[in-house]
Amino acid sequence: MKDITIGIDIGGTNTVFGFIDSNGKSWGEGTIPTQTRERFEDYLKDLFKAIDQTIRNSKEDLRVIGVGIGAPNGNYRTGTIDNAANLRWKGNLDLAKLIGEELKVPVKVTNDANAAALGERIFGGAKDMSDFMVITLGTGLGSGIVVNGDLLYGHDGFAGEVGHIIVRPGGRECGCGRRGCLETYVSATGVKRTAYKMLAKHLGESSLRDVPFNGLTAKMVADAANKGDLLAIEIFAYTGRMLGEALANVASVTSPKAIFFFGGLAKAGDLLFDPVREAMEKNILFLYKDKISLQASELGDDAAVLGASALIWNDKA
Amino acid sequence: MKDITIGIDIGGTNTVFGFIDSNGKSWGEGTIPTQTRERFEDYLKDLFKAIDQTIRNSKEDLRVIGVGIGAPNGNYRTGTIDNAANLRWKGNLDLAKLIGEELKVPVKVTNDANAAALGERIFGGAKDMSDFMVITLGTGLGSGIVVNGDLLYGHDGFAGEVGHIIVRPGGRECGCGRRGCLETYVSATGVKRTAYKMLAKHLGESSLRDVPFNGLTAKMVADAANKGDLLAIEIFAYTGRMLGEALANVASVTSPKAIFFFGGLAKAGDLLFDPVREAMEKNILFLYKDKISLQASELGDDAAVLGASALIWNDKA
C-alpha cells in the first residue's frame, strides 16, 4: 500500500492531475480538458472518472490521503474558486466540498503561485527555508509567500498579489482596472509593452522593428538580446530594474531568505536576473543587504501538480 | 500564587517594566534610566535589582513565568539588540541570554512595533484576528504585522519595516541613507517636512508661517488644522494620501483584516485617517476593496509594557 496525494492543476485549457508520494515521485497522471462541459458538476464527474481509471490502471496499490488543488482564484480559506476570469463557470465554485464528498479525504485549494511556493518548500530548493517567496513570471506576475513555514494567505485567503503592487502611480493600464501595477512592466506582456516603448524612444536598429505588436513575444525579445541586439538587452535591463526595485520594497515587509523565479519569462535567466539583483541590492534597506538569494525554481515542468500535492504533504511535514 | 509575565520596554531614555497577568492587569511596575551606565551588564544589574524590589514589595505572591522585551532593533530570532542607533552600547547585545540566566525563565525580545502588534492581539482590539497590522506613528513609522496568528519576523527577525518602503524613488532623504522612504513623509518628522514644502509652494496665510523649522511640531500642525488653517489641513491630507497609497500596496502582500494606528501622530485622528482611508480605497486592488478596517489602537499609554508581556502570553494562548 502506497500513500499518495493527488495534485490537481486546473488551467484555463487543461486540468492535469498526478499521484504524488511524499518524496515527490509520481505514481500516475492524467489530463482532461477543463472547459468542455457547461456545468461545473459535469466537469468534476469527468475528473473523478479519469482519476478513478488512473488509480485502477496502476500496478501499485495506491491509497489517496488527500487532494491539493491549484486553481485560478483558488481560495484556501473557503476551498472555493471565486470568480475566476478565465473559467466559464461564474460565481464561487464549491470545489473542495464537492471533491471531498466524492473522495472522502481532506481537500485543499489555493492559487497556482501559492501552490508553486509550497512545491518549492516540500520538493524543491526551499526545503530548509521557512521564509521565502516564489515569483511566477508568465502572462502576468504571480507570487506565493511563505512565512514562519506556512503560506501567507491573509485574512481572506487572497494575500500575495505582488504583481498588483502599484510601482508607477498613473502608469500603464492594468487588467485589474488600475494603473502602474508591477505586472504591467514585469511579465511576458510587460516585456512586450516595454519593447514598443523602447522602439518609440530610441533610434537604434533592432530586429524587433520588423515584428508587429500582436506577433511579438517575450521569447523573441530574449532571443534578440542573446544575439546582442542592444535594444532587446535594454528592454530586459528595464524590466529587471522594475522588478528589483519592487522586490526591495517587498523585502521591507516580509524579509525573505530567498526569492525563486518560475514560469516562461524566468527562462530568460541572467538576462533578467542580473539587472533584478543589481536594482534590488541598490534599493534595499541596509538591514537586508546581501542577505537575499535570487534563484531559479528547482521544480521542473510538473511543478504545478507537485505544488498542488504539497498542499497536503506540507501538513504532514 | 499569581502567574505573571514581566513586560519590559527599553527606550532611549527610560526602561519601564510591569508585572502583567493573563488578563493584561498590572501587578506592579517600575522605571529605571536606560543609559546612565557605561557597561550594558551594569545596566542589567540595575534592572534586576529594580525588578526584585518591586516583586518583594508586592502584597501578592507573584510567580514570573516569562519575560517579554520590546527594544530598539530587538531581534526575535536571536534574542539580541543589534546595533541600535539610539543606545550607547554598540554591537549585538545578548539581552535574552543574560536575562534568562538571571531569572531562569523564557525570555523573548522584539522591536517596539512588533510588541505593540502582539499587545493589540492579546489585550487590545485584535483579539479575534489572526491577520492584521499595527502602524506606529512617532518620530518615524514602525510596523508590526501579524499573519496566520503570529508575528511576521522574516528569516532574520527584521521583517515589517513598512516605514522604509520607498514610495517616491529619488524623493526625500531618509535617515537610513536612501531616499523616498514612507517614513520621510508619514511620521511626525514627515509632517514637519511637508509643512515646509507647503509653505514654500502656496501663498495662503497660515499660523505656521510664524514658527521656525526647529520649533515646529506635528502637534502644532494638527492644532492649526483643527482651527481651520487651510494649509495645515492640506498638510494632513497630503500625509494621509501618502500613507493610504502605501497601505494599498502593503495589502497586496499581506491582506490584513484591520490596520491599527498607534503613537503621537495617530492622535491627530480623522484629520489623518480620513485621507488615509480615501487614498487606500481609491488605490487598492478590487480583491481587497472595503474589506480592511482602519482603527485607532485600543491600548493606552502602557501599551509598550503590555505588548512586551504579550510576547510570552501569546505562546500560552
Determine whether the interchain pair A165/B249 forms a contact, defined as Cβ–Cβ distance below 8 Å: yes
Residue A261 corresponds to which cell in the numbers above?
A: 523565479
Predicted local distance difference test score (pLDDT) of residue B303: 87
Question: DSSP label at A173?
Answer: B
Residue-wise pLDDT tens digits, A79-92: 999 888 778 998 89
Percent of chain A exceeding pLDDT 90 equals: 83
Q: Mean pLDDT over residues B79-96, rounded?
A: 90
Answer whether residue B317 shows pLDDT above 70.
Answer: no
pLDDT at site A85: 78
Choice among A40-54, B77-91, B120-134, B247-261 with the minimum mean pLDDT: B77-91
Q: Are residues B137 and B252 in the same domain?
A: yes
Q: Which residue, among B82, B285, B286, B315, would best test binding to A if mutated, counting the most A CBs under 10 Å from its CB?
A: B285
Kindly state the percentage of chain A with pLDDT values over 70: 100
Q: Does A130 touch chain B (CB under 8 A)?
A: yes
Q: Cell triple for residue A153?
A: 494567505
Torsion sign, CA atoms B256, B260, B265, B269: positive
CA B107 to chain centre: 20
Identify whether residues A193 and A107 lie together within a single domain. no
SS3 of B288, please? helix
Same domain, yes or no, for B134 and B37?
no
Indicate the residue type of B194: T
Residue B245: CA count within 13 A, CB half-sphere: 22
In angstroms, the CA B26 to CA A141 distance is: 49
Same domain, A247 and A195: yes
Assembly ipTM: 0.89
Please give the Cα distance from B131 to B304 (Å, whole number): 20
Please indicate if any CB of chain A lies within 8 Å of the CB of B160: yes
Model confidence at B179: pLDDT above 90: yes
The mean per-residue pLDDT over the stretch B108-119 comes to: 94
The answer to whether the CB of B312 falls within 8 A of the CB of B15 is: no
Sole residue written with cell 472547459:
A35
> Is B253 in Cβ contact with A145 (below 8 Å)?
yes
CA distance A217 to A211: 10
Q: Is B197 exposed, middle or buried (0-12, 13-18, 19+ CB in 10 A)?
A: middle
Closest CA to A172 of A185, A188, A191: A185
Q: How far apart are CA B92 and CA A133, in angstroms?
A: 28
pLDDT at A1: 87
Provide the grid cell at A219. 521569447
Q: What is the Cα–Cα distance from A12 to B185, expressed in whole angstroms?
A: 44
In a shared domain, residues A71 and A136: no
- For residue B143, give the chain A residue with the closest CA: A253
A148 reaches B (C-beta below 8 A)? yes
**Across the interface, which of B153, B164, B286 has its CB nearest the CB of A285?**
B164
**Quick one: B270 and B140 in the same domain?**
yes
Q: How far away is chain B from the Cα of A229, in angstroms, using its nearest Cα?
A: 29
Contact indicator for B257, A169 with CB cutoff of 8 Å? no
The one-letter amino acid code at B227 reads: K
| B176 and A CB contact within 8 Å | yes
Q: Is B248 on the interface with A (CB under 8 A)?
A: yes
Nearest to A73 by CA among A191, A158, A169: A158
pLDDT at residue A315, rounded to an integer: 79
pLDDT digits (tens, 9 = 90+) for A265-285: 998 999 999 999 999 999 999
> Do A261 and A308 lie in a common domain?
no
Same domain, B12 and B99: yes
φ/ψ region of B169 (left if φ > 0, alpha if ψ in -120 to 50, else beta) reads beta
Kindly report, residue by residue over B57-83, the tens digit of the pLDDT. 988 899 999 999 999 889 999 999 988
Number of domains in chain A: 2
Report CA-CA distances (Å) from B27 to B4, B6, B56, B239, B305. 8, 10, 12, 40, 12
Residue A317 in this model has a pLDDT that exceeds 70: no
Contact A176 B286 (CB under 8 A): yes
- The β-bridge partners of A75 are A80
User: Residue A90 CA to chain centroid, in angstroms?
Assistant: 22
For the cut 80, the answer to whether the pLDDT of residue A316 exceeds it is no
The DSSP H or E segment spanning A30 is strand A26-33
| SS3 at position B183 | helix
Query: How close is the nearest chain B Cα to the Cα of A246, in Å?
Result: 9
CA B29/CA B14 separation, integer angstroms = 13
Q: Which residue has the higher pLDDT, A83 or A119?
A: A119
Q: Are B189 and B139 in contact (CB under 8 A)?
A: yes
Residues A266, A272: contact at Cβ < 8 Å?
yes
A58-111 pLDDT per residue, tens: 888 999 999 999 998 899 999 999 888 778 998 899 999 999 999 999 999 999
Condensed to tens digits (0 to 9), the pLDDT of residues A11-66 reads: 888 999 999 999 999 999 999 999 999 999 999 999 999 999 999 998 889 999 99
Q: Is B128 exposed, middle or buried (0-12, 13-18, 19+ CB in 10 A)?
A: exposed
Tell me whether A315 touches chain B (CB under 8 Å): no
DSSP string covering B8-68: EEE-SSEEEEEEE-TTS-EEEEEEEESSS-SSHHHHHHHHHHHHHHHHHH-SS-EEEEEEE
**B61, exposed or middle or buried, with CB in 10 Å at 0-12, 13-18, 19+?**
exposed
Same domain, B283 and B307: no
The CA-to-CA distance between both ends of chain A, in Å, stands at: 20
**pLDDT score at A229:** 94
One domain for residues B257 and B158 = yes
Task: Inform me whether the pLDDT recorded for B112 exceeds 80.
Answer: yes
| β-sheet bridge partners, residue B32 | B15
- Calpha distance A250→B159 (Å, rounded): 10
CB contact under 8 A, B285 and A147: no
Residues A178 and A114 reside in one and the same domain:
no
Structural domain boundaries enclosing B178: 128-296
Work out the average pLDDT over B157-185: 95
CB contact under 8 A, B148 and A153: yes
CATH number at residue A34: 3.30.420.40
Does the CB of A250 have a partner CB in chain B at under 8 Å?
Answer: yes
- Using a CB-CB cut-off of 8 Å, the residues of chain A touching B156 are 255, 257, 287-288, 291
CA atoms within 13 A on the CB side of B284: 26
- b/e string for B81-101 if b means 16 or more Cβ within 10 A? bbebeebebeeebbbbebbbe
Would an 8 Å CB–CB cutoff place A68 in contact with chain B? no
Place of cell 482519476: A51
Cell of A26: 509520481
- Based on the domain organization, do B286 and B147 belong to the same domain? yes
Question: Cα(B231)–Cα(B165) distance, rounded to whole angstroms?
Answer: 27
